[in-house]
């Protein structure tokens, strides 16, 4: 089954979707030949400061730290690196280079699939994005990368990433806290039949018809069967 935006997946399902045994890194440049993958989280205890902009379609994703070298080593005390000591690029460096080549009109923007951690062991496919910019800023303690990704409206992007049926006019991003509260309220089950399989975060009133992604009152859990039945009735 092809996964679509706001589908709910276990960690194993997410790895299977990407044809890998494990996904241990948050940043995965060209995990597949035609696109990259990032894992994000806006949970309180998340190790990086990822966020969604107020326009509802732009993600600001924080780059990754150096690896921990010893029990006492604190990676949060060092600038995020573009290269390793031997001169090889880190994931930060690879994403940075992709942005610079795009802005220099040497290539199209990098396609990125974004998965978001909702709860322990529970993930959601955030959508298909274009990597369009980056910043290297001082956060008050050190320098960090912030990568800017914008929800794709290119139908070819969906084809290249083997993602179908993303209804972009209705796809304003649902904030993490809304997803978390909806999951708890609906007890991880389809609100119509109680199924716990193939679940999806659904806008009760579609965004294109004035529905909001910002309120738990307009977001619910549906299984694939009832989500498809609803889609077929929307005119």
In angstroms, rounded to a whole number, what is the distance separating the alpha carbons of residues 186 and 190?
7
- Beta-strand (E) ranges in 46-175? 51-52, 58-62, 110-119, 122-138, 143-151
Rounded to an integer, the average pLDDT of 104-128 is 92
Q: Does position 3 have pLDDT exceeding 50, yes or no?
A: no
- 128 domain-assigned: yes
Are 40 and 114 contacting, i.e. CB atoms less than 8 angstroms apart?
Answer: yes
Q: What is the CATH number of the domain that holds 145?
A: 2.30.280.10
pLDDT tens-digit profile of 166-224?
444 445 678 878 888 999 999 999 999 999 888 988 888 876 677 787 788 899 999 98
Q: Which range, 37-51, 93-107, 173-187, has the best average confidence (pLDDT)?
A: 93-107
| Whether the Cβ atoms of residue 174 and residue 213 lie closer than 8 Å to each other | yes
pLDDT of residue 221: 92
What's this model's pTM, rounded to 2 decimal places? 0.79
pLDDT in tens, 133-177: 999 999 999 999 999 999 987 655 555 555 544 444 445 678 878
| Residue 3 included in any domain | no
Q: Are residues 161 and 178 in the same domain?
A: no
pLDDT band at 5 (very low <50, low <70, confident <90, very high): low
Give the end of a domain, one of 149, 167, 185. 167
In this predicted structure, what is the pLDDT of residue 214? 77
Structurally, the chain folds into a number of domains equal to: 2
Q: Which residues contact 184 (CB under 8 A, 6 or more apart)?
A: none
Instruction: Note down the domain range covering 116.
Output: 8-167
Instruction: Give 5-48 as a 3 state SS string.
Output: CCEEEEHHHHHHHCCCCCCCCCEEEEEECCEEEEEECCCCCCCC
pLDDT band at 95 (very low <50, low <70, confident <90, very high): very high
pLDDT at position 170: 43
The pLDDT value recorded for residue 165 is 42
Alpha helices per DSSP H over the chain? 11-17, 91-103, 155-160, 176-185, 224-233
pLDDT at 119 over 70: yes
Question: Do 200 and 157 share a structural domain?
Answer: no
Tell me which of 167, 194, 226 is where a domain ends: 167
Q: Do residues 138 and 115 both lie within one domain?
A: yes
Give the pLDDT confidence score for residue 4 in this predicted structure. 59
How sure is the predictor about 111, in pLDDT bands with cuts at 50, 70 and 90? Answer: very high
């Amino acid at each position: 089954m092809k996964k679509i935006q706001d589908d709910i997946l276990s960690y194993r399902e997410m790895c299977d979707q990407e044809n890998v045994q494990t996904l241990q890194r948050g940043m995965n440049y060209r995990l597949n030949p035609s696109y990259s993958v990032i894992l994000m989280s806006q949970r309180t205890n998340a190790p990086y400061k990822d966020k969604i902009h107020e326009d509802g379609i732009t993600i600001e994703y924080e780059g990754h730290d150096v690896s921990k070298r010893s029990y006492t080593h604190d990676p949060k005390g060092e600038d995020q690196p573009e290269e390793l000591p031997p001169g090889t690029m880190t994931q930060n460096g690879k994403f940075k280079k992709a942005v610079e080549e795009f802005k220099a009109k040497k290539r199209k923007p990098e396609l990125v699939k974004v998965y978001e951690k909702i709860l322990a062991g529970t993930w959601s496919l955030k959508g298909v994005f274009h990597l369009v910019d980056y910043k290297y800023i001082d956060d008050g303690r050190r320098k960090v990368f912030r990568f800017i990704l914008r929800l794709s409206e290119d139908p070819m992007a969906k084809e290249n990433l083997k993602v179908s049926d993303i209804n972009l006019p209705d796809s304003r991003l649902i904030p993490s806290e809304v997803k978390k509260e909806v999951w708890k309220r609906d007890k991880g089950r389809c609100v119509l039949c109680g199924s716990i399989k193939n679940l999806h975060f659904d806008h009760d009133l579609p965004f294109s018809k004035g529905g909001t992604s910002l309120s738990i009152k307009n977001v619910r859990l549906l299984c694939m069967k009832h989500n498809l039945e609803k889609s077929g009735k929307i005119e």
